[in-house]
Amino acid sequence: MQILTDIGIGLAIGMLAGTTGTQGGARGRMVLLAAIVGLVAGFLIDSVLGAVLAGAGAAFACLVISDLVFGASRREGSGAGALGFIVALAALVVLAIALLFSWLIILVALALIWLGVSRRRRAQRKHAGLRVLR
């Protein structure tokens, strides 16, 4: 169960880092920062295995959430600040779930995986017609 707690803490760290909604090189630096913070937090809470799991969870969550927030900010303009706030609240809920009911982190991780895959699939389908014209 400690493994799930480490993953959940990493996911919460990555979600908080992803609320910036950066893109390009800044996104890579933010993912790296989230992974380092997850590594340190996981090492302090558990051990080397906890550090690796928390770092990986933080990097993955930061990738997915920053893509989501960037897409919303591109469409909505300045109204995406509310989405960042909602994601930050969701990160606090994920942290509480990780500490109290660690087995529910499996559902949170599956939801993030589904969100990442569905956004990637939708983007590929959106640009499929443009690839045919090449």
Q: Is residue 134 part of a domain?
A: no
Number of domains in the chain: 1
Task: Note down the domain range covering 123.
Answer: 2-127
Has residue 134 got a pLDDT over 60? Answer: no
Query: Which pLDDT tens digit goes with each residue over 3-38?
Result: 999 999 999 999 999 888 777 778 889 999 999 999
15 CA to centre of own chain: 4
Q: Is residue 35 part of a domain?
A: yes
Q: In this structure, which amino acid lies at residue 101?
A: F
Secondary structure of residue 7 in the 3-state scheme: helix
Has residue 133 got a pLDDT over 80? Answer: no
Q: Is residue 99 part of a domain?
A: yes
Query: Which pLDDT tens digit goes with each residue over 53-85?
Result: 999 999 999 999 988 888 877 776 665 677 878
Q: Is residue 132 part of a domain?
A: no
**What is the C-alpha separation between 17 and 55, in angstroms, rounded?**
12
Q: Residues near 84 by Cβ (< 8 Å), separated by ≥ 6?
A: 19, 20, 21, 69
Q: Is residue 133 part of a domain?
A: no
CA nearest neighbour of 4 among 103, 93, 113, 108: 103
Q: Is residue 114 part of a domain?
A: yes
pTM of the model: 0.84
Helix, strand, coil share of the chain (percent; to 5): 90, 0, 10
CA-to-CA separations, 15 to 54, 103, 104, in angstroms, rounded: 12, 19, 17
75 membership: H or E segment, kind and range: helix 48-76
